[in-house]
Chain A
């Protein structure tokens, strides 16, 4: 196995553990925002979509698939982040005086 792949596997495993640790501490109150935030983050695949769409020697088929992928991933990113923010805006603590 090449060192490149080996290194990537280490990165993957460590990131999985980091994810488990981080999410364990998220309050159940915020589980829906968490889902929609990670939903937006999963659209990081936009990176791969841009690489294939912008590649100089790409065939027409690859370019078409790529541009659809860029569009879809962008929909996911934009709607995911915006809806998370919309939700979080609604969460407020009980502070009769200090709000507004």
Chain B
């Protein structure tokens, strides 16, 4: 079977890509994983250039050079806090590339039968993932409003649009479709991607980005079927399953189903449940109070949320952590799976601020520890610490696993105001007798606490 150099190169590429994902499983070997992935990609490209179907190189070289010229500054100039946006944008490019290859193949070879089925799947997924990723980028960058945009009959419009696109695709596969069918099919796929993201709110972005990742992988695998190329099938399938698993994890962490995320249920919640702020009394505290409480604690658990990312508070939090640690306070971090805008978002931000990763704990690991925690410091998180998720069956977030901060001796919440969070749900935690509200910008407030701590140990 293997009698050409490119086949050997493809085999090496497939193996190194598998190894790259395997090595990414632990922080110690993760960077080797990236290297393995790069080597795999290099072998895939060189192997392809060696195939004798490839006879002209000028255009390819131009594409590779221009692509690198854009990709390198994109990766280095984007600030670390923009990782979710960058990933979405990067997805858009990759998915668009897959769709363009499908389109080019269609006009070049006009395949029939099974390869044509694969080709339309590839093109559909490629185009819809491309525009959906651009929309996700727009929402993350806040060019487009992050709140869910809903209108009456939205699901009906979306489903009929998708049905029309699939109808045209079936027509193409059967043969005899007019010239306009393929452009119309491509246009509908592009449009569907845009409409798919409209009803999705900022808080659902972790699931959606993971799902788009999965689609991009499926598009690559479909291309593999269309071109009868097993390297594409393997890499695409790995990618598709990885994105799928992540989105399942995200859905579980929110106690929601896929359809629920995709068809914008939270948008309806906002309309039905009037976002009421109750007049119950609550206690607030100043930076001085907060500093002295923290100094007298033995164990502090910090719970970061999207608010920390918005305020860019991670570096100040690092300072606070260092100063408290020097004074013998045990400071740990509790990370909810859906905190932030993409899976693992908080971990990256805290790592950027040079907080060692062995202080970052998953929900299941840290929850039993809250009972022996003196202070739980919530910074910019809301729904993921709302006890209503545990007992209030009427709450839209009922059943969602949460961080048990209310079990700590004292809870301090840094928040801009008493306004409810993204889901428009009031948080009973704020009215608890053991809760102190610290009003202000997360970064500013943490800086003020740091100032109040005595400088000499």
Contacts and interface: CB of A to CB of B under 8 A. Distances in A.
Interface in A57-96: 58-59, 61-63, 65-94
Contact of B75 (A34, A50, A82): A82
Q: Which of B114, B223, B351 has the most CB of A within 10 A?
A: B351
B93 A38 contact: no
B97 interface: yes
Nearest to A22: B21
Mostly, the B contact residues are helix
A29 B104 CA distance: 40
A31 B246 contact: yes
A15 B48 CA distance: 21
Size category of the B interface is 35 or more
Contacts of B41: 40-41, 43-44, 46, 77, 81
Given A25-B25, A41-B235, A79 B20 contact: no
A70 B101 CA distance: 9
Given A37-B37, A45-B232, A70 B108 contact: no
B304 interface: no
Contacts of B86: 36, 79, 83
B343 to A, nearest CB: 4
Contacts of A93: 27, 356-358
Nearest to B94: A76
Contacts of B410: none
A8 to B, nearest CB: 6
B30 A23 contact: no
A86 B37 CA distance: 15
Interface of A: 1, 4-5, 8, 11-13, 15-20, 22-56, 58-59, 61-63, 65-94
16 contacts: A11-B230, A23-B245, A24-B245, A26-B25, A28-B362, A29-B27, A31-B343, A47-B231, A56-B56, A68-B97, A68-B100, A69-B63, A79-B72, A80-B90, A88-B30, A90-B348
